Amino acid sequence: MPLDLKQTQTQRLLPELRITLQLQQAIKLLQLSRYELAQEILEQLEENPILEERLQGIEKKTKPGDLETATPAEAKVPEGAGTPADGDGDAGPGPESGVTPTEEEFAWDRYFDSYINSRQEGAFGRASPEEVPVQDRRLHTRIDLREHLMWQLRLSDFDDEERSVGVFVIGNLNEDGLLMRDEGEDVVGSIAAACESDSATVERVIKRMQQFDPVGVVSRDVRECLLAQARHFAPTNRLIHEILEKHYDDLQKMKFASIARALGTDVETVKGAIRVISRFDTRPGRLYSTTDPHYITPDIYIEKVGGEWKIIINEEGVPRIRISPYYRAYLRKRTRDATSRYIREKLNAAKWFMDSIAKRRQTMFKVMEAILKLQRDFFDHGVEHLKPLYLKDVAQEIGMHEATVCRVTTSKYVHTPQGLFELKYFFSSGLGTADGADVSSKAVKSKITRLLAQEEGGRTLSDREIVAILAQEGIRIARRTVAKYRGQMGIMSSAKRKKMQ
């Protein structure tokens, strides 16, 4: 029987979620830190002429409905521009403005010419080097490790062949100041072949360069780096040299008794030598790292005022922005040319951006308020009173989706009387207690740290003893869990801690 095949057109209604560009921007702003938000605002100020930065300490008449990122006094409306309009900018000037917008078209050509000239010559004209403030002339960039070593190489009495080898060696150092090489590679032979030299010359150059500042650079591994520092800082201590030259494996395994027997001395003497070794730098090149340190500035402050906890959103350093009064006044002329359409598009984008910033602030406040409510014991008494908390708990508390809570807590830090914490710190799994309640895993780690810090008189607590002590406090935990938490905190086993005493 032949099939009846034919084409037909039908209509169906299907639910579909489309994420607009504005919604994508709002989601992006949620997960930005305070510093990243400031950078995003600066980019928007450059891209959108409708937005302008509001300077502090300059008064301006405002009325309800103005779209701004904050409410303090700001710049006055320039003469000839009406008061900010509500909605899409079509409304005429408010009754309090007393100013009728001029019908003269804006001179774009003249504006761009003056803008380009001002960018080329600076805000106050072109300045000569002598006019630059002294403090600005003193600024300089830090030299990196390679520049520092090259400076020392040029001042050394190497011949041309040795200096060529030294330049090649400096170019093959990693950030720690050690020679980069593949596992099992004969690095001396490789350098000799590349520089058309011999292995003896390369070895001689490496040994001399290891005494450059910082001492220990140009080493092939950590052991050689420590040896170079031992020869420089402890040249007469043969015990340190022998430990590094002949017993480095036992040193890594902390077999102090084996080292003492092999060297014919006592364990305490070996420990004294190892304490000196522990002060050596295994990454000497990091002293000349040009990577700027990353300082954490809190996004939120939690303070107790009059017996009540207060939440303060930190907006220091974040530019305060507003809609340009001039462009609002320009749109009131009700023209429908290309310029007006462009300005209207930018105005809508600016409104959405500022609304997204306000929404971000509100969401951060709600999330922090929920965390403060659910972790009140932590803020009142400390880390050991931290409770298990999940994203869904906060999401249910504030009536938002878990994904939103996750974005808000990303890369955000809060300053509390207990210290500085990332918002994600307050979320953790829980362990059971004798009374049926749960205790946070972070609280258990804090208790373990406290117990180990109280070790005295050469006595060290084993993992099994820690389990017993926690059980007396009503916390049920397995020995392997204690070992796992101890390892995560970088704490050695009881046997190794005892050897270090």
pLDDT in tens, 299-324: 999 998 888 899 999 888 888 998 88
- Tell me whether residue 338 is in a domain: no
- Tell me whether residue 202 is in a domain: yes
**Domain ends where: 288, 303, 327?**
288
Q: What is the 3-state secondary structure (H, E, C) of 379-400?
A: HHHCHHHCCCECHHHHHHHHCC
pTM of the model: 0.57
User: What's the total number of domains in the chain?
Assistant: 2
- Three-class DSSP category at 15: coil
- Tell me whether residue 480 is in a domain: yes
Question: Using CA atoms, how far apart are residues 1 and 215, in angstroms rounded to an integer?
Answer: 92
What is the H or E stretch that residue 201 is in? helix 199-209
Question: Using CA atoms, how far apart are residues 299 and 312, in angstroms rounded to an integer?
Answer: 9
Tokens standing for residue 448:
């373990």
Phi, psi of 301 (to 5 degrees): -115, 135
Question: Using CA atoms, how far apart are residues 348 and 360, in angstroms rounded to an integer?
Answer: 18
> In terms of residues, how long is the chain?
501
Phi, psi of 178 (to 5 degrees): -100, 155
- Tell me whether residue 335 is in a domain: no
- Tell me whether residue 76 is in a domain: no
Question: Using CA atoms, how far apart are residues 390 and 395, in angstroms rounded to an integer?
Answer: 9
- Tell me whether residue 231 is in a domain: yes
**CATH number for the domain including 493?**
1.10.10.60
Which residue range is the domain that position 462 belongs to?
A: 430-500
DSSP conformation letters of 98-141: --PPP-PPP-HHHHHHHHHHHHHH-BTBPPPGGGS-HHHHT--P
Cross-strand partners of 439: 431
pLDDT along the chain (501 residues), means of 10: 69 67 78 87 91 67 40 34 37 36 43 44 43 45 83 92 93 90 79 91 93 92 93 92 92 88 91 91 86 80 90 89 85 78 87 90 93 90 84 91 88 90 84 60 79 73 81 79 80 70 59
Q: Dump pLDDT digits (tens) for 376-411.
A: 988 988 887 888 888 999 999 999 888 889 988 888
- Tell me whether residue 403 is in a domain: no
**Domain ends where: 288, 304, 324?**
288
**Domain ends where: 235, 269, 288?**
288
